[in-house]
Amino acid sequence: MFLTPPYPSSFEMMVFAVLQDEANNYGCSSNAHYVGSSISYWGQVAQMADAYPNIRLILEIAFDPSNGGSGTYGLSCFDTVVQGLSQYPSVYGIGVEGEYTTLSAGMTEAEMQTAMNYVTGAGKLFINYYAPVPIPSGGYDITHTNFPMQGDQVGTLQDYDSQTVGLSSGYYDGFPFPSTFTCPIGPDAVASGALTNEPQGWDQCVVSTELEAATSFSPDSARQFVELVAGFSTSGNFTGISGLSTDQLWDNPTLRNWIWTDPNYIGNFILSP
């Protein structure tokens, strides 16, 4: 992922261990079941990343906000994960996974403030994916667009708010690879309807459009992180840069080379080595 071209230096992950333990009635423990396994696994990843000071991991944790977040799978369990992972220097930010920690489930501004207090008290930046309630002052978000997939058009690459520090683009699903976009990508170019409709997904035109939009964006502070959520190929497996046969597009040598050789990439992004 990190130590081959294009040498990406950031990684954003949504952590659902708390909700998985709740669904199975396992309780919350730092050394058992989903929470324990998640702390162990991401801790191992972070420990390896610690050897490379430019690598920054951002982890957003979903939890159960009902009843003020006072239950077994609420804020205290959120803090268990925070404490388990905040010891690693490469863990740059921790926040709330807001797509599944929802207002309808009971999320409140007071809970968001408590979550932020846990994170900042552990010495990390409070960086969130979605925000079901306003983020307290001093907290941040990574804005999301589904582009170049069904649901969002190219104009959403301009989305941000006053607390945005980055943009994630795409989502984890299967699409034909490469896609059939042509440049310039029109304002209504993304196909609607079934996921198999084209154009959707990744090709060189999409990569160049993403990078040009990010590097020309103002304010540049809102594009400190640019996350491409490539998903997987429905066009068959390939040999990844890992050397394995896979359909996971983060590992695709062609996609990675489009990023690496794009004129908007070299010189504009911090690399992992």
Q: Tens digits of per-residue pLDDT, 54-107?
A: 999 999 999 999 999 999 999 999 999 999 999 999 999 999 999 999 999 999
Domain membership of residue 45 (yes or no) is yes
pTM, two decimal places: 0.96
**Residue-level length of the chain:** 273
* Paired residues of 239 in beta bridges: 245
Domain membership of residue 180 (yes or no) is no
For the chain, what percent of residues have pLDDT higher than 90? 98
Q: For the chain, how many structural domains are there in total?
A: 1
Model pLDDT for residues 17-37, shown as the tens digit of each residue:
999 999 999 999 999 999 999
pLDDT score for 157: 98
Per the prediction, the chain carries an average pLDDT of: 97
Mean pLDDT computed over 120-145: 97
Burial class (CB within 10 angstroms; exposed 0-12, middle 13-18, buried 19+) of 182: exposed
Domain membership of residue 241 (yes or no) is no
Burial class (CB within 10 angstroms; exposed 0-12, middle 13-18, buried 19+) of 137: exposed
Return the CATH number at 115.
Answer: 3.80.30
Confidence category of residue 196, pLDDT binned at 50, 70, 90: confident
Domain membership of residue 44 (yes or no) is yes
pLDDT score for 226: 98
pLDDT score for 240: 98
Domain membership of residue 158 (yes or no) is no
Q: How far apart are CA 41 and CA 183, in angstroms?
A: 40
Burial class (CB within 10 angstroms; exposed 0-12, middle 13-18, buried 19+) of 201: buried
Q: How far apart are CA 16 and CA 152, in angstroms?
A: 25
In this model, does residue 189 exceed pLDDT 90?
A: yes
Residue 267 vs residues 177, 183, 213, 260: alpha-carbon distances, Å: 28, 23, 15, 11
Domain membership of residue 196 (yes or no) is no
Strands (E), the chain: 10-15, 56-61, 91-96, 125-129, 140-145, 164-170, 174-175, 225-229, 232-233, 238-239, 245-246
pLDDT score for 195: 84
Domain membership of residue 237 (yes or no) is no
pLDDT score for 194: 87
Question: Residue 105: which domain range?
Answer: 1-138
Domain membership of residue 206 (yes or no) is no
Structure tokens at 163: 């607390």
Q: How far apart are CA 203 and CA 197, in angstroms?
A: 15
Q: How far apart are CA 15 and CA 19, in angstroms?
A: 9
